[in-house]
Structure 1
Amino acid sequence: MPNRIRSHVLEERSLAFLREVFPDSWVIHSFSKDYGIDVQVELFTENGDRTGIRFYGQVKATDNDVSDDVLRLDRSHFEYWSGHTDPVALFRYFDTTKQLQWCWLHDVDWLMKPGNESLDVAGLLKTWNIAISPTEVEKYLHARRQALFEPLIPPYEITIEQLDNNDVAPVIAAKIASKIKSKSFKVLPREMSIGHFQLIFAPNKIASSYSGLPGFVFHHKEKLTEGELVEHALLATFLCACRYERIIFARSLASVSAPLLYRAAGEELRLQFFDAMIFSLGLMSAVEMITPLLNGEADSSLPWFIFSTTCAASSWRYGEAHTWSALLESWLEKPPIPENIGPFAYNLGNSLASQGRWEEAREAYSIAIAKDATYDRRSYFWSEYGAANFEIGNFEEASNCYKKALTLEDSSENRWRLGDTLFNAGQFAKASEQLQIALPEVGERNRTYVELLLMVCNELREVWGLESQTGSPIEERDMDVLQQYTSAMNEGEIIAHLLPLMNKNAIDGCLNFNAGVLASRDGYYSIAAYRFLTCALKQRGDTEAWVNSIMCALNSGNAYLAILSAKTAHFFVGEEFLPWALGMMPGSPQIPAQIADSWRSLMTELVESFEQDRTGSEEIPVLRIHTPDGTKVFHLGNNNMG
């Protein structure tokens, strides 16, 4: 028989002791397996009614004395506990003296230093007082629920707590209240209230939290003055409010304390401060409030630089792209920093491009390089300038831009985009060359499209003998040639019949669609698949062209072409493509049963990856800033809050 180990005895005794010292209205649910949580405590009223309020408990029992106790908890456990929606309490049971100590784990985890993997919490525990502690727990849990689930209305309470022997919380509370100067805020020591927001002061640290949820921690090596402590504390509260989207509170605080918050942010947190101001006030109001602060700097060029880059990111993230564009246009007419007119124009180009306003974006990029010659030496600028020209059909100019980008940076991205442009310009041989070079290095995000484009270029060269063409417009009388098509033609005759039109414009959407219809009618599915696909690549939102290309590829037995087309179709067409991909399988008897079954199976497996691919492939605006230390790249989809 196995021996009963001491830890099992202590575990049972600790749980029994909890039941003894907890109120009768608290129901303890213990867990048979310990994954870092031992109990769940559910609160009832004195009448036995459910409240829906609960918290979790981690129980640590020991034979040690309180005076020489050590209790180290590792970082991974703190991360696990902080992930719970309900708060987690730590209970330390001392079996020898029958004592219980406790703390909220969210009250102590922030004290762990950034480089440490564990924290000794023994000195942070407080004695469980059977007459006082249950009331303290209940008061906190009720206040937390109210803060989380009820509208946050003034007066907003901010609680101050001091974690050292200096009882200065009342003094700090008074100082903060005097700085805010608004009846909307109520600042109190923790002994008087458990507020919506908490500020905890410890040696060399200031922490903020919202109803027990982690906020911000400031570490400071140098001793701060009382004024600096107050400013940093308010900034922590402001950033915490934005993190949990308490916009009304954040807006009120920003409105009365913007200069103070700006000063506290300094250089290190300036970007986060700017982002929070835009989030809480809106772009235009934030600009109006921050502009005087920037202009008051002795050297405002760097703060303005950081502010403008933050505006670009935040406006996209918070749905104010149009406002940002309008603001940049006003800055071009009356620039706050004249030497920055080039970057302002470049940012305007990026903003307009992210909205699909390509003609205007092209004009803004033109102004940028005219005002700032350094853009001539930046590969990313020529790539973005090329994209604007590509989208409005200026393929020759777009090609020149991508070639310039490629001479500055020989990247697969620049190369396949050049290949795409050459394809649209009718330079099929040159496009194929660039795409072949780029394909081995292309990332997963764009590989499907590049491979599909290369297959179309090769089909045009190998089947139709087309190396290049000027791409003359297809006229109505040219389409009459299609009416002369007869079912008696074999595949070679069909190619010969269509070749004059293909020689004129092999990537005309209307020509290719109609040619696909005629070829598929008589079972020449390979020809039809590529004709529908060429139409789809030119008219990217044309669901019918994509669907027909996939159907014909399957009928021809080319499942690989069908798969590539399906993935590309979902990117360009979106949700309306999925029902067909999953359930509207073509019933043509020409499709081999094995291919049809494989297709259905593959579509079932890929539907989730379709969604992921589309999300990951969305053109998130990118902001690239040239600095003396090198080019900085910011993906505007990243959230700076928190």
Structure 2
Amino acid sequence: MIQRHRSHQLEDVSILQFQSRLPEQWVVRRKSPDYGIDLEVEIFNFDGAATGLCFNVQLKATDDPTKRYKVSIEIDRLEYARSLDIPTLYVRYCDYDKSIFARWNFALDLPHPEGKKSKTLHFTASDAFNDAFIGSIFSTLIVLRNLRLCLPSQQFVILPECPTRPDLIGALTATLTKQFAPFSRIAVGLNSFQISPILVRCIVTDTDVQLSIDKIAGLVLEFDDSDELISLVYYGLIALVERVGFRLHAAQLSNIAIRTGISTKKRELAALAACTLDGDTAAGIRLALLNNIHITQDEYYISVLSTLLNSNPHTVDFSEVEKFYLAEVEYQKKHGIQLASTHYSLANLLNHSGRYRDAIRQFNIARRIDPSYLDEYYFICELASSLFTIKRNRCALSLYARCVSLNGSPRDHLNLSDALIADGKIGEARAHLLLCNACDDPIIRDIADQRLYACDYLDSLGGPAGNINNPEILTKAYNTALQEMNLKHAAMLSVILAVFDESNERLWLDAMRFTFLRHQEAAFFCFFKCAHYYCGSWPYLHFRAEVEQLRTHSGLLVTFDELDMYSTQLDSSRETLWPKIQMRRFGPPSFDFKNQ
């Protein structure tokens, strides 16, 4: 005989019980197939007017009263619900006593258990699906909708409460009003002029501050000294509005903190506030210094520096970041501390700013404080690149040779070959370049080819080992060849100079132009690709315009355009190889640990 399983019966019973508790104006629709969502509920007013508010429901039913407070849900279902624009209510129904408990998905703290496919949700008596809970659904969804709109004009209203010290409420309200006065989007207390504000409950007890927005977001901040109460509320609000997506509000509050000099002892809050200013390096650094982020190299120190330096590398004000490191150095001096990583990080910053001699001084300070740096591959490589850039080729040569012995990657051989060329040791350089030619990396192979051409040109020009260190002499010879229309020598010298001035777009354009006119196809395509690696499409676009004017090689433009597109895709598919100066955002061991 066909029987209906109890699980199917429970499913229907739970839906009926859940629906019976809702206002009769609300519309409940079954979802099929459900994909972890059983019902969709649309809210209508008591007069039947539509509100546009909806929420999803996932129902889990049981007969066992010992399991009424917990339910297991697949992690992929949780992630799917979180990806939806409509919030999801997780509902637990126990048929033994007809009890229902519910929790919103946005209120769940759900770290995924490693290696597990499900997560157990726990309910408490406060999650009872009663009249109070049902009555709060409308207001919760309204707040959630306002949060998702994320309007710059949205106003937040703080509602202070002091349940254990009612005598403090007046003074607390007055102080908070004064503190938030510079920012019109934050108000203290409700009034009739506010339009759809988002309410922030601020409950102050004898030991902590509780900030919350409905059931959507909240945090608890403990304090030991009542003098830090106001700053704790201020920075707590920055964290809260940032958490719900109002980053612009958070950044404006952070700027006001700088102007008014308000700081907090809570490093986590201070770091978060500084990170909201990632579009303004100077402001972010000032707020970090105001809160003494620079005095301890912990996770908050790393968070601030990595956020401010990486948010938009093209607009970072490195002089402001330098102030941070210098303040750190000054603090260490006052307290008899020396951290090699501080000087190492400052060296990288100066390197990236083009101040190579200052960078080398900081590298040397770092290695004197911690001699073990000279055993670290990355340190030797970065110091060598700085020395090579300022033409201290002998020192760079010995360090690059050490890099080859420590690591021996194709890039190490390429760097060493550059130093050997600069030192006039063309034969040794050629041996390392031939090793690079056999590697799997197409970019290194192309650049090695370009260096081999440079070696051949140096040999054919008489091997000016004494002149290779003197760019003025090479440049003068190059200009003379241009004036005399000696295209062969001009092409050779442009390629040689490009080894040591990799970002010079004009040199690459000339190398492409001269090899094209002399019908040196292999050399032309090599320089074409190297120019793209170093300078992007600029040299090619100018070269293309010249070819169009000739009107005799227009058929080649299709091939050139395809090669340009290929080079662009290749360049974007891997880490940029050049320039040689690679900035590390913060010093070891934090940097190495983060990369691992």
Q: With structure 1 as the length reference, what TM-score do the two structures score?
A: 0.63
Provide the rounded CA distance (Å) in 2 between the counterparts of 1:70 and 1:505. 73
Tell me, which stretches of 5 or more residues in structure 2 are unaligned? Answer: 181-186, 191-196, 278-282, 469-473, 499-505
CA drift of 1:153 comes to 4.0
Distance 1:368 1:421 in 2: 20
Contact kept in structure 2, 1:62 and 1:93, CA below 8 Å: yes
Equivalent residues of 1:529, 1:548 under 8 A apart:
no
The residue number in structure 2 matching 1:196 is 200
**Per-residue deviation, 1:316:** 1.5
Range that drifts further, 134-143 or 302-311: 302-311
* Percent of aligned pairs sharing the same letter: 15
Q: Which secondary structure state, in structure 1, belongs to the residue aligned with residue 52 of structure 2?
A: strand
Q: Which residue type is aligned with residue 444 of structure 2? A: V
- Alignment pair present for 1:362 and 2:351: no
Answer yes or no: is the 8 Å Cα contact 1:428–1:457 preserved in 2. no
Cα distance between partner residues in 2 of 1:28 and 1:38: 10
Q: How far, CA to CA, are the matches of 1:476 and 1:2 in structure 2?
A: 97
Gap change, CA 1:4 and 1:457, over 3 Å in 2: farther
CA distance in 2, matches of 1:232, 1:65: 46
Corresponding residue SS for 2:53: strand
2:382 and 2:582 in contact (8 A); partners too: no
> Does 2:379 correspond to 1:381?
yes
Q: 2:590 — aligned with what? A: 632
Q: Contact 2:10–2:61 (CA<8 Å) still a contact in 1? A: yes
Deviation, 1:37, is 1.8
- Per-residue CA deviations over 1:501-526 (Å, capped at 9, x if unaligned) read 67767524578755654553475422
Deviation at 1:403, TM superposition (A): 3.8
Match of 1:507 among 496, 516, 523: 496
Contact 2:160 2:204 in 1 (8 A): no
Distance in 1 (alpha carbons) for counterparts of 2:563 and 2:479? 43
**How big is the shift at 1:312?**
3.7
- Judged with a 3 Å threshold, the aligned counterparts in structure 2 of structure 1 residues 55 and 145 are, in CA distance, closer, same or farther, namely same
- Aligned pairs for 1:485-524 (under 5 A) are 498=488, 506-508=495-497, 514=510, 516-517=512-513, 519-521=515-517, 523-524=519-520
> Which shows bigger deviation, 55-64 or 454-463?
454-463
The DSSP-based 3-state class of the residue aligned with 2:35 is coil
Q: Secondary structure at the match of 1:507?
A: helix
- The residue aligned with 2:296 is 303
Q: Name the CA shift for 1:405/1:56 in 2 (closer, same or farther; >3 Å).
A: same
- 1:208-357 equivalences under 5 Å are 239-243=239-243, 244=245, 245=247, 246-248=250-252, 261-262=264-265, 265=266, 270=267, 272-279=268-275, 282-287=283-288, 289-291=290-292, 303=296, 312-317=305-310, 319-328=316-325, 336-337=334-335, 339-340=337-338, 344-354=342-352, 357=353
SS at match of 2:102: strand
For 2:590, what is the secondary structure of its paired residue?
A: strand
> In the TM superposition, what whole-angstrom CA distance separates every residue of 1:579-635 from its partner, at most 9, and x where no partner exists?
x9xxxxx963799xxxx69x969958x977764546899988424535xxxx33169
Aligned amino acid, residue 44 of structure 2 = F
Q: In structure 2, do the counterparts of structure 1 residues 456 and 621 end up closer, same or farther at CA, with 3 Å as the change threshold?
A: closer
Looking at structure 2, the residues matched to 109 and 173 of structure 1 have their Cα atoms a distance apart, in angstroms, of 32
Q: Is the 8 A contact 2:258 2:287 kept in 1?
A: no
How many correspondences in the alignment? 536
Match of 2:136 in 1: 136
Residue aligning to 1:456: 450
**Corresponding residue of 1:577:** none
Alpha-carbon shift at residue 140 of structure 1 (Å): 1.7
CA-to-partner distance for each residue in 1:523-572, whole Å, 9 max, x for gaps?
542243345556667x73562348869x99xxxxxxxxxxxxxxxxxxxx
Cα 1:303–1:5 shift into 2, 3 Å = same
> Which residue of 481, 505, 524 corresponds with 1:528?
524
Cα offset for 1:69? 6.5
Q: Say if 1:25 and 1:46, in contact at 8 Å, map to a contact too.
A: yes
The separation in 2 between residues aligned to 1:534 and 1:426, in whole angstroms, is 23
Q: 1:304 to 1:588 in 2, by over 3 A?
A: closer
8 Å CA contact 1:103, 1:126 repeated in 2? yes
Q: Does the 8 Å contact 1:90/1:103 carry over to 2?
A: yes
Q: 1:528 to 1:370 in 2, by over 3 A?
A: same
Instruction: Provide the alpha-carbon RMSD of the alignment.
Output: 5.7
Matching residue of 1:478: 481
> Structure 1, residues 397-427: CA drift from partner, whole Å, max 9, x if none?
5444434555666666544433455467665
Per the alignment, residue 543 of structure 1 pairs with 538
SS of equivalent to 1:71: strand
- Supply the AA of the counterpart residue of 1:128: F
**Kindly tell me: are residues 310 and 515 of structure 1, through their superposed partners in 2, closer, same or farther at Cα, counting changes over 3 Å?**
closer
Superposed CA deviations along residues 356-410 of structure 1, whole A, max 9, x for unmatched, are x21x243133245157614664243333233334455665554444345556666
Residue 588 of structure 1 is matched in structure 2 by: 555
